[in-house]
Structure 1
Amino acid sequence: MVEHRTPVTARLALGALAVLLVGCGTVDGAATPGEIDVRSLDVGSYTTVPADIEIGRKPTDGPILEGLRMAGAVVFPHEVDPALTHSWGTDVLDTPQRASDTSAISNVNLAVLERHRMIVGFDIAEGTLAFDKAKPAIETDARITRVVLLRFPGAGNAKEAARELESTDFGVSPDNRPVPIPGYAAAHAHWRPGIKTIGATFAHGEIVVSLFLQHQSPDIDALAKRVAAILDAQIPLLDEFTPTAPDRIAQLPRDPDDLLRRTLIPGPADQRIAIDSREFAPWTGRAGRHYRPTEPAELGTAWDRGGVDSVAHAYSTTLFRFRDEADALAFGTTWHDTLSAAAHPIAAPAGLPQARCAERRAGTAPALTRCYVSYRRYGAFVSGAEPAGVRRQAAAQFALLANAQ
């Protein structure tokens, strides 16, 4: 068994700092009674015209969109083990090569994934300690759970892939031993005696669940029980998930919840942008929980109370859809009132009294400015390195939301 696999490096942080490109700005529409006249806002050169998301369709979009759907069907490890409070990364694996290189699948398994025509995967990992890229996980006392969902074109492909993935990984070391998983006779699992990790695969319909777990000590009974607990939580989620027929994946809507067109995009509204899980993507339904803040706890509570049911992310902008306007406003107030010690409030955009902005300095990293702005049931974070530019982004995002009605 491979003792250490490189964790996912993609981070879905709310404050992701992107290179900010600007296009030609326009502010359309007159205000309705009681609303701000968006034509009075300083939006700089940012566009406030809702984008036609479908014109940007690319051949690569379909598998990624299916992977984003799978993001709503994966179990969050901390839901099974609340001690797993630190994210070790999450991402769509849109090719067999990426799955082999970056997921819990051993890198000896590329041929298996290709042979059984893997369509897409989704990968999530969480641990009891913060991820430290300078130290292999196996050298820490971290408890880690990594879950990868791998989609295949049929149940037969998935069943054979699960068996072969285990067999190939098992053959990496002559010291590996099979491990039965309580309650899951069809699961394939192995460990290396004396090593505190376990790998397992389990086919359920067209999806293979691949697991990699690390314990504090080489306790095989504890590891096997943890695998069973993850499967206990994961299988019901897969039962509720309907995979898209392979011949329909290319037609999956790019903006299923009508959120991406409301999200501020660097550059003109008519640009053609490929779906990218880290930079330009819809996270609908339960998949939006990958953006749920965990620190401070009050902000996570405000998210839950606000009933967020969809998220869209476009470069330096993240847009949430709340239950109603009051919840969208309350989330921004909670964020502003619970800023970390490294952050301090700064002036909000002129003309937007409900907007909130802060600047954060941490160590030697460049300062980050972030603003939160809401309009009706929508709330958005925008971020960047320069406060005046971020304030213009916030104003443009507000105007865009108003113009998208």
Structure 2
Amino acid sequence: MISRRIRLGAIALAATALTGCGSHVGGTALPGEIDVRTLDVGNYVTEPLETRFHYYPSLHEGVVLAAMRLDGQVVTGPEVDPRFRYATGSKHFDTAAEAAGILATGSESVLRDNQMLFGFAASSADQPKPQYHDLPAGAGSILTFVMQFPDAAAASKAAADLERVDFQVAADANQTVSLAKYTDAHTHWRPGIPTMGSFLAHGSYVVNTFTTWKEPDLAELTDLTQKIYDAQVPLLDALKPVDREGILRLKWDPDGMLRQQLNPDGFGLPYFESEFSGGERGFLHRVNDQEHWRRVLADSGVDRFALSGFDFEGPSLLFRARDADAARTLWSAILGTAYPGAVDAPPKVPGARCGEGPVAYDVDGYVETKVKRYRCAIVYRRYVATVDSDQLADVYQRAAAQYALMANSTW
């Protein structure tokens, strides 16, 4: 029924940070805090990012910021059904050509004609997906793809046209399905095939769902599709659509998260894989066990998350907790099972702890290596950050620089 679907690759939580040149440690120690100028930060820069980078609005970067904003309002698996606790991937789209890659052949012209602005897709499953592997046979999965159009009329037409194109892929076998709770949704399945696709226009948004179950059970597939809409529609009601002028006016770092992160090269253009700032769902879409991390974030009242740096080089991660006590709770759990090895804390860095991860592990006969060997977690007031490296001395300098950055970014 669907000719082409991307396999959304999950973005690993394990991440590293770039090294850079040039060092300067500024700031003044507050009562009860150390003088960060005494820390060994090596060549890492410890001034907030805006001292080295200025964001100039453009339509392209604005669309990326708009997609990041949408990311925070797209459901995670456990919000739909507790069984779907494992994220299997997420991706943003800023062109019709990219978005058509996860839809039926012929969808690109529909998206262009109706002037799709941007979109975001996320998928989850009831079994974990090993890195570099497909989901295990018999796994159930859900994909939620939200797109924004210029207005409700364009969204309504796009939903109907996208369904028509999708249905025609196997018009002789597909059958229309009516959803009792969402009579305006365009839905179909192919009897004997354990999948169902649906499109629902909601204001300026179109929600596309694609559900896969263990067997071709029409009642189960219908129930899952309606559950996705039950969880997703209220989130869109809380997100006012943004027009092209509004896209240009979106703020680059509205909560001051990126300015506090270790960013050796000073590159700050918004990008999902390297310069991202968003809500807690922005983190949950990037991890494997969403239910576990949902509980961890909830226990600490985390409301903002950011990353800086590509995953293969190593971003720093930053979380904003409810308060200083909640941040300590998160700090004590953040290394988790990924970095269980005992490692001494970096010298003289308050509120820092480190761990060592396994060098490699085996999945179905395939040896996988994690990105970096060491990770340190640093807590400062209501913020928790992590930095990674393969070298212990380097991760200590990164931790010191990250602490100094947070201390220097309090204005």
TM, length-normalised to structure 2? 0.89
Provide the residue aligned with 2:312 in structure 1.
none
Q: Distance in 2 between matches of 1:143 and 1:278?
A: 27
Change (3 A) 1:55 1:347: same
| Residue 273 of structure 2 is aligned to residue 275 of structure 1 | no
Q: Distance in 1 between matches of 2:145 and 2:159?
A: 12
Match of 1:384 among 389, 395, 405: 389
Instruction: Map residues 105-254 of structure 1 onto 2, 5 A cutoff.
Output: 105-131=103-129, 140-173=137-170, 174-254=172-252
Provide the residue aligned with 2:300 in structure 1.
306
Shift of 1:4: 6.5
Shift of 1:382: 1.1
| Residue 256 of structure 2 is aligned to residue 261 of structure 1 | no
Q: Distance in 1 between matches of 2:324 and 2:330?
A: 10
Change (3 A) 1:176 1:54: farther
What code does the residue aligned with 2:324 have?
E
What code does the residue aligned with 1:282 have?
S
SS at match of 1:171: helix
Change (3 A) 1:135 1:377: closer
Change (3 A) 1:295 1:388: farther
Change (3 A) 1:133 1:384: closer
Provide the residue aligned with 2:87 in structure 1.
87
Q: Does the CA-based 8 Å contact 1:328-1:379 persist in structure 2?
A: yes
Change (3 A) 1:296 1:110: closer
What code does the residue aligned with 2:308 have?
A
1:318-365 CA-to-partner distances (Å, cap 9, x unmatched) read 1111111122122112335x535x730212211024201111123251
Instruction: Map residues 16-31 of structure 1 onto 2, 5 A cutoff.
Output: 16-17=15-16, 20-31=18-29
RMSD of aligned alpha carbons: 2.3
Change (3 A) 1:215 1:4: farther
Change (3 A) 1:296 1:247: closer
Change (3 A) 1:6 1:45: same
Count how many residue pairs are aligned between Structure 1 and Structure 2.
394
Shift of 1:41: 0.8
Q: Distance in 1 between matches of 2:222 and 2:294?
A: 31
Shift of 1:384: 2.5
Instruction: Map residues 30-69 of structure 1 onto 2, 5 A cutoff.
Output: 30-52=28-50, 55-57=54-56, 59=58, 60-69=60-69
What code does the residue aligned with 1:276 have?
Y
Q: Distance in 2 between matches of 1:263 and 1:210?
A: 35
Q: Does the CA-based 8 Å contact 1:352-1:395 persist in structure 2?
A: yes
Q: Distance in 1 between matches of 2:298 and 2:260?
A: 22
Q: Distance in 2 between matches of 1:352 and 1:135?
A: 39
Shift of 1:232: 1.5
SS at match of 1:194: coil
Change (3 A) 1:148 1:251: same
Provide the residue aligned with 2:317 in structure 1.
318
Q: Does the CA-based 8 Å contact 1:73-1:287 persist in structure 2?
A: no
Unaligned runs of 5+ in 2: 310-314, 362-366
Change (3 A) 1:395 1:45: same
Q: Distance in 2 between matches of 1:132 and 1:2?
A: 24
Q: Distance in 1 between matches of 2:331 and 2:305?
A: 15
Q: Distance in 2 between matches of 1:130 and 1:228?
A: 23
Change (3 A) 1:225 1:296: closer
1:94-151 CA-to-partner distances (Å, cap 9, x unmatched) read 22222122x3x234311111111111101110001222577665x8211101101001
Shift of 1:7: 1.8
SS at match of 2:351: coil
Q: Distance in 1 between matches of 2:105 and 2:226?
A: 24
Q: Does the CA-based 8 Å contact 1:8-1:89 persist in structure 2?
A: yes
Change (3 A) 1:256 1:285: farther
Shift of 1:292: 7.4
Larger mean Cα displacement after TM superposition, 286-295 or 208-217: 286-295
Unaligned runs of 5+ in 1: none
Larger mean Cα displacement after TM superposition, 142-151 or 236-245: 236-245
Provide the residue aligned with 1:373 in structure 2.
378
Shift of 1:29: 1.9
Change (3 A) 1:289 1:389: same
What code does the residue aligned with 1:198 have?
M
SS at match of 2:240: coil
Q: Distance in 2 between matches of 1:96 and 1:304?
A: 36
Q: Distance in 2 between matches of 1:291 and 1:376?
A: 25
Moved over 3 A (4+): 132-137, 284-297, 299-302
Shift of 1:295: 7.6
1:26-53 CA-to-partner distances (Å, cap 9, x unmatched) read 1112312210111111111111010118
Provide the residue aligned with 1:14 in structure 2.
13
1:165-186 CA-to-partner distances (Å, cap 9, x unmatched) read 1110111113212111122111
Change (3 A) 1:224 1:378: same
